[in-house]
A and B are shown apart, each in its own frame.
Chain A
Amino acid sequence: MKVTKQDIVDVASQAELKAVYALRRRVMMLLLNRLTTLKDDLLNEEIHGAIIDGITVFVLPKKASAENMQKSLLTTALTTMLLYPTVHRPRSMFRLVSLIFWSTRCLKSHGARHFRHLQV
């Protein structure tokens, strides 16, 4: 028996969407790696963070003091810029560093929950 158009229609009729997976585009996740490396040296506290596309920064600090956060993030940002100068344009880095100063001030005054998602 040859496969007919009806056989194909029957298969398609049974086809049921079960899963949708998206591997979303992100240009940079280096900050997260740098933070992970540096957190033990600088903070002895738990911090998670990521720089994405050089535009959006997610920072999820837990327990860390604002000063230590700032110190860590700045070191990370500068190290990242030195290690990956072609990926991080100076303007992006300037905006990132500005964000870090601003966000740590936020942390001091409002606590961690208020700056989970910030646009640079």
Chain B
Amino acid sequence: MGEVGANQNEGWFKTVTIEPGIVFRYLPESKWKTLSINVFCQVPVVEDRLTSLALVPRLARRGTESLPTLQAMSRFLEEMYGAGIGADARKVGPIQVIRFGIDIPSPEYLDAVIFGKPDGSIVSKALSFIWDVATRPYLENGAYSRDTFDVERNDHRRDIIGMINNRPSYAAVRLVEELSRGDPRGLPAWGSLDGLDSVDPKTTWEIWKETLSHCPISIYAVGEGACEVGEILSKNGLEFPCGRADHIWDIGKELAPPALPQDVLRVEDCLSGAQTILCMAFYTGIREGDPRLPALLFCDGILGGFPHSKLFSVVREKESLAYFADTSPNTWRGLIMAIAGISDEDRSRVEDLIVQQVEAVRRGEISQQEMDNTRIGLIRRLRTESDSQSSLVRRLLTHEIFGGAPTEEEIVRVF
């Protein structure tokens, strides 16, 4: 493989720097029957741009310069042996990550006798297609098509409202938002309903063009054929709508979390629903990249990560006060977040009980059975990740942004 820049191993993946700010990471494993290629654009959160950028993946899926309609794109994907594309906006800690991905059958399994001889390399076609989706969308007069834009904006609005309907996940998002009050990095990846009213097709394209010029880009390929992706990238390079800027955004500056309040912050919202969701944040100071991260994950597992954990067994099973009760770590902020679905009248009782469970762990009231079950549960959970291409890529992307363990095996080793 003709490589540009430094080549190094990170976990199982090999890393090649294509040009400053653009890295290619690949894992040519044969255990999957598909080749998964993902392009991640890492963007520091700016409140004015967040919602526009959240719309970009939706608009990108509607057509490219060479395949301007959904029908043309679908036909192309069918010709690629039923390839599937995905594009979304998500957050990794404080960074907004815009993803464009394509999954194709591994070239190894495409028998020319059965499937017919492909017209050119399928890997090359897939790569140039997904790059077109990211950088060369269908435009009219230098802007996204107004009709498409309006449809996607309305769908996005409906999706945001739909996310609000998933009360537990919405409560967790709102808690982080409140803890980051005044700091846009705490806003959710999908932007805001208010922000949707002010976006327009031209500005959105301008923002995306500028973002493409400045943002760090990571390209991941997992599966057989991954090496070929690297060869194509090295040979042909990448084209951008406005070229690449000399100064690439340094996302490392964005990682320090906003200061937490001195006292306990108390916030209430009211929404329709069948139960009250109580969400509590405990600050531990242990973040992604900290050598004590495995201990944090273990502590989270003892408290509420599993059905044998204290929150589930005490708050739900023993006291019958919750429909669900669990915890999850927020490794950007160094938090353990407890969440419980309860009757509104039990709020203060459940709050006290959750605090009591943390105090019990603090006093060392952890049985050997709890230790063993948590260890088994964590190892199983982490190892399951390695069976999925997307989970592997997600872990390495998190490592790329925050540092710390690049593979789940490095964490498993200390459990």
Contact = CB atoms under 8 A, between A and B. Distances in A.
B366 A5 contact: yes
Contacts of A1: 414
B366 A8 contact: yes
B414 A20 contact: no
Nearest to A22: B268
B91 to A, nearest CB: 18
A26 B167 CA distance: 12
Nearest to A28: B272
Given A22-B347, A23-B170, A15 B371 contact: no
A16 B361 contact: no
B256 interface: no
A91 to B, nearest CB: 20
Interface string B261-278: 100111111111111111
B270 A24 contact: yes
User: Which interface class (under 10, 10 to 19, 20 to 34, 35 or more) fits A?
Assistant: 20 to 34
Nearest to B299: A11
Contact of A14 (B274, B285, B303): B285
A35 B283 CA distance: 41
Contacts of A17: 264, 280-282, 355, 358
Interface stretch (B7-15, B56-64, B151-159, B172-180): B172-180
B69 interface: no
Given A2-B414, A25-B274, A29-B271, A20 B264 contact: yes
A41 interface: no
Contacts of A21: 171, 174-175, 178, 266-269, 278-281
B295 A10 contact: yes
B311 interface: no
Contact of A25 (B267, B275, B335, B336): B275
Contacts of B361: 8-9, 12
A22 B264 contact: no
B295 A22 contact: no
The residue among A11, A23, A25 with the most chain B CB atoms within 10 A of its own CB is: A23
A109 interface: no
B163 interface: no
B65 interface: no
A7 B299 CA distance: 9
A29 to B, nearest CB: 6
B286 interface: yes
A26 B279 contact: no
B296 interface: yes
A18 B269 contact: no
A13 interface: yes
B175 A19 contact: yes
A18 B281 contact: yes
A23 B115 CA distance: 54
A18 B294 contact: no
B264 A18 contact: yes
A86 to B, nearest CB: 14
Nearest to A9: B364
Nearest to B175: A21
Contacts of B414: 1-3
Contacts of A7: 292, 295, 298
B272 A11 contact: no
24 contacts: A1-B414, A6-B364, A7-B295, A8-B366, A9-B366, A11-B295, A12-B299, A12-B358, A13-B362, A15-B284, A16-B282, A17-B280, A17-B358, A18-B179, A19-B260, A19-B261, A19-B266, A20-B279, A22-B277, A22-B347, A24-B269, A25-B344, A29-B270, A29-B272
Interface of A: 1-3, 5-29, 52
Given A5-B366, A8-B366, A21-B178, 16 more contacts: A2-B414, A3-B294, A3-B295, A8-B295, A11-B284, A14-B285, A16-B282, A18-B264, A19-B179, A19-B261, A21-B171, A21-B174, A23-B276, A24-B270, A24-B276, A27-B272
Interface of B: 167, 170-171, 174-175, 178-179, 260-261, 264-286, 292, 294-296, 298-299, 302-303, 335-336, 343-344, 347, 351, 355, 358, 361-364, 366, 371, 414-415
